Amino acid sequence: MSEKIQKPDATWRDELTPEQYKICRQSGTELAFTGIYWDCHDNGLYRCVCCGNKLFDSNVKYESGSGWPSFWQTHQLDSVIVKKDDSHGITRTEVLCSRCDAHLGHVFEDGPKPTGLRYCINSAALTLDRE
């Protein structure tokens, strides 16, 4: 992982679209089946929209039926960090970019083998470098 990126809130607000800012910096979410990558089948590398960190490879993306892009593995073990999220009256595991702490989505333990994980990620938190 590269050096940690920290910026003032005003800088993030200037660099991101309102939707990206709401999701990545304020832990928001997009509506299911609305993001640009939920039904994308292009090959490439998904990166953090805030800092360009390599997050997920397209070959580990799968159709979960959730309405968000879903992956069963991260690009590298240190691509993301996870933390307990007790918001909205339920306990979940939040997924953050390990480089800039952008909120990406959540990870669940109902994914396919071999990991059994489902990284449920907001499209607005991602960019895709197509192959």
Mean pLDDT on 91-118: 96
Residue 125 in this model has a pLDDT that exceeds 70: yes
- How confident is residue 131, by pLDDT bands cut at 50, 70 and 90? confident
- How confident is residue 2, by pLDDT bands cut at 50, 70 and 90? low
Residue 4: inside a domain, yes or no? no
Residue 76: inside a domain, yes or no? yes
pTM for this prediction = 0.94
Residue 114 in this model has a pLDDT that exceeds 70: yes
Mean pLDDT on 93-101: 97
| Catalytic one of 48, 50, 51, 120 | 120
Residue 95: inside a domain, yes or no? yes
DSSP state of 25: H
* Number of domains forming the structure of the chain: 1
Tell me whether residue 100 is one of the annotated catalytic residues.
no
CATH of the domain at 88: 2.170.150.20
Range of the domain at 43: 9-130
SS (H, E, C) 44-82: EEEEECCCCCEEEEHHHEECCCCCCCEECCCCCCCCEEE
Question: 109-118 burial, b for 16+ CB within 10 Å, e for fewer?
Answer: eebeeeeebb
Residue 116: inside a domain, yes or no? yes
Residue 2: inside a domain, yes or no? no
Residue 62: inside a domain, yes or no? yes
CA 81 → CA 32, 63, 95, 118, distances in Å? 23, 23, 6, 14
Residue 88 in this model has a pLDDT that exceeds 90: no
Tokens 């640009």 map to which residue? 36
Residue 14: inside a domain, yes or no? yes
Residue 1: inside a domain, yes or no? no
Q: What is the pLDDT of residue 123?
A: 98
